[in-house]
Chain A
Amino acid sequence: MRHLQGPRRGRLLAVALCAIALLTACTSQQAAEDPNAPQPGTLRVLASSELSDMAPVLDRIADDTGIKVRPTYMGTLDAVELLAKGRANGQYDALWLSSNDYLRLRPEAAKKVVSETSVMSSPVAIGVRSTTLGELGWKPDDVTWSQIEQAVQEGRLTYGMTDPARSNSGFATLVSVASALSGAQSALNDADVTEATPRLKEFFKGQKLTSGSSGWLATAYKRRGSVDALLNYESVLKGIPGLTVIRPKDGVVTADYPLSSLASTNAATRDDVRRLTEALRTEDVQRLITERTHRRPVVASVAPASGLDPGRRRELPFPGSRSVADGLLDAYENELRRPSRTVYVLDTSGSMEGDRLAQLKQALADLTGDFREREEVTLMPFGSEVKSVRTHVVEPAGPKAGLAGIREDTEALSAEGDTAIYTSLEKAYDHLGAGRDTFTSIVLMTDGENTTGAEAADFDAFYAGLDRDRRETPVFPILFGDSDESELEHIAELTGGRLFDAQEGSLDGAFEEIRGYQ
């Protein structure tokens, strides 16, 4: 029953799209004007979010060559799905993922790529807090995955990583860990994954932090102060102060950032892509890349920036078939990782009447297909007070019952009453209690300001009075309708969450994006 439901890529697509203005960081779902209108001299590039750190390099190239890059950040799986379905045709001029390994497992997507040129590289690594490193007595050059595993098992090491279903770095990390711990001597196959499952399960017990993006992972890591290490690309980890970055001795998966031109584009566009590629591979730019972004150059005449250890590492082969890659991902989501417990605090006050409530119901119904096995979902609709508290668990033995329950409760939502945001949030914290070895979080969806019950100051005091464990539950507020951005931003900041925008983007898009953080 394990492969009951693969990760829901079809739906992810519509959603994880966060197109943005030139070279700015991605904060919301969509930009105000049509983000995909073609513009001469500007390449619309479907890119991995890790590439946002390339802005200074791309600025320089724009000055030198006149070619501008307008990135749209997306996870690998979503991007590959988009390509496979032909929906990138006419929307994007080039593809720039951290790796095309997964793309190659989908021939219908791979066919859409004409040529690809690797631009730089960065291996998966573990960044360990200096104090922890001392306690473990590790010598950074000699650390192996088995050692990491042992430290996790002994309870001496906890870590954070990004969600493999939504982030390239998470996916590469998952493959590295699975390959190394399975003991497979060559590319992973289905049997290797099955065999390694018990060990992997142990290993992922040490994962205390999950995130939909590398950026928030770093922020949450700093804030918590209780997580010992992060698993991510070397380039990302090198940018976080206080971490000793270790490439495990027994092997890593390396991202090689191939800039790829697309068959659906015309020759002139592909020529621009070629010029951009050439510009990226000049010695000066390669030097700039390695110094600014801590990635490794792919031109032999340029040395890696200081601090990047030149020692060799075994390259762990990436799975050669889709069934293995998808199977691994599926196992991670439904079996290996710690399950999540989430409370959805949903504004169903009078102002939600009509279209807004319909949107909410639709968004929740869509989301239902995305819940993982073992996940606990609580719906907490509120108006003048919390209206009901309904908890459902997606049981691996019979996941349909839990999902049907969520759908039923969603259908029954009705709009009435005032808006008691803070009182309801306090209820949500009370409901969750201690973490019980799960990823806990609260999603707050509201279309207006707090009008009744506890005030912001009351909630601040309430939160300050929680014990440390419970303070680790973040609130992810969604900006929707007439909700007050500063009020919600404050809640996100206070609790270590992140604000999502469904005013610019869509409500189902926001719900979907939050999945990466749960």
Chain B
Amino acid sequence: MRRIAGIILAVLLIGGVVAAVVAGRSNEDGTATKTVQAVIGSEKAEFFADPDVVKALAAKGYTVKAETSGSWAMEGLDLKGYDLALPSSQAPAVALAAKYKVTGTLPRPFYSPLVVVAHRNAAEVLAANGLATLDSEHRGTFEMAAYLDAARADRTWQQLKGARKYGELTGTLYLSSTDPETSNSGALYLAAASYVENDGKVVATDAEVDRTAPLLHKLVSVQGAQQAGSDAVFRDFVSGAGNPLVVVYESQVASLLAKGQQPDDLVVLYPDTTVNSDHTVVPLTENGKAVAELLSSDPKLRELQARHGFRPQGESSEFALDTTYLKQELTGVHQAAVPTSEVLHELARRARGQGGHST
């Protein structure tokens, strides 16, 4: 039975390639593929712009025109004329589905865990102070509980052993994230931190919100103005500007590595408690639904997702990566569940609360 399925799949694949060629040709005459307007989280822009992805989608009869937006900012956009939205996690997707009266299960084709990228000097100092452990030169684990304690105590780099020799390591120790009110990775950072702060439970009640909010406020206010998208914070990091510790998606790092980059000054730290970003599709039209289905089931697209550093749902064999920087298996990394959209919004709002660190 399995074998037969394999053969059918192979036939489908070949058919796909043929269709791509056909679609490519007829495309030049301005016919054939249906155009699908999508609004996506910024970290998926490169995936949809990849010529192979374009080709794979064209093979199935679709051209996706993707526009980026902060996941939570999508709620503020008028999505009339769009076929699908693809925020970076379930919570904003559920909110969008409610707004546009989309029923049924929302497809979640791929996911990516939140990681901390660090410059080497910073990673080394964290490791020397019990805030991280390094498995190898470019990979390690970030100790969330120890970090939250340091944040609570307003620990500065100057107070850490071994920081003195690096001039850039001064000021309060903190992770940079995106704005949790508009962008998913920032919100998920709060989800992970609140889970640890709430003694390993997902924050659900008002009392739990009250209890965790002060620390979350600290984590955010220390950063000052925050970027609106995960792509921007990662770009800043890559260009050498910005904070030496940044919360990003694993997929962003993987995507960089997949292009043949081997950044010397990059260490990927997997938080011992992290959350996954479940990229979730909100289909707004029939065409949107069809593309959502393809993203989940089309083998070529799944392979391309993996190439861009996303982990396709289901079996993980497609996800084979540069283990110099990344973990093939997420063993030893605790995946915390994300609070409901409502609770997460409230946490973000409280964390961003005006007034700075002393009002």
Contacts and interface: CB of A to CB of B under 8 A. Distances in A.
Interface of A: 100-102, 104-105, 110-111, 113-118, 120-121, 123, 185-191, 249-251, 254, 256, 258, 261, 263, 267, 270-271, 274, 278, 296-301, 310-321, 323-324
B358 A189 contact: yes
A318 B232 CA distance: 15
B179 A104 contact: yes
A258 B224 contact: no
A100 B42 contact: no
A111 B308 CA distance: 29
Contacts of B172: 185-186
B224 A256 contact: no
A274 B235 CA distance: 16
A114 B220 CA distance: 22
8 contacts: A110-B228, A121-B236, A251-B170, A298-B235, A301-B259, A314-B169, A317-B223, A321-B355
Interface of B: 37, 42, 45, 49, 65, 67-70, 73, 76-77, 81, 119, 121, 154, 156, 166-172, 174, 179, 182, 220-229, 231-232, 235-236, 238-244, 256, 259, 261, 263, 354-359
B141 to A, nearest CB: 23
Contacts of A115: 42, 67-70, 229
A263 B77 CA distance: 7
A103 B232 CA distance: 15
B358 A191 contact: yes
B242 A254 contact: yes
Contact of B243 (A104, A190, A299, A315): A315
A313 B243 CA distance: 9
Given A186-B171, A189-B357, A319 B65 contact: no
B225 A314 contact: no
A267 B242 CA distance: 32
A488 B2 CA distance: 87
Contact of A114 (B69, B174, B243): B69
Contact of B261 (A123, A254, A300, A313): A300
Contact of A321 (B171, B174, B239, B356): B356
Contact of A254 (B220, B241, B355, B358): B241
Given A118-B231, A312-B119, 20 more contacts: A100-B228, A104-B225, A111-B76, A115-B67, A118-B232, A121-B236, A186-B154, A186-B172, A186-B221, A189-B358, A189-B359, A256-B235, A263-B77, A271-B65, A298-B235, A300-B238, A315-B236, A317-B223, A317-B224, A324-B356
Contacts of A118: 231-232, 235-236, 239
Contacts of A100: 227-228
B167 A249 contact: yes
Among A102, A121, A261, A321, find the residue whose CB has the most chain B CB atoms closer than 10 A.
A321
A117 B223 contact: no
B168 A312 contact: yes
A298 B168 CA distance: 19
A299 B223 contact: no
Contact of A317 (B69, B73, B222): B222
A271 B67 contact: yes
A317 B76 CA distance: 27
Nearest to B167: A249
B225 A320 contact: yes
Contacts of A316: 171
Nearest to B78: A263
Contacts of A191: 358
B76 A113 contact: no
Contacts of B243: 315, 317
Contacts of B121: 312
Contact of A250 (B81, B167, B261, B354): B167
A116 B235 CA distance: 12
Contact of A185 (B154, B241, B242): B154
Contact of A267 (B42, B65, B235, B259): B65
B242 A315 contact: yes
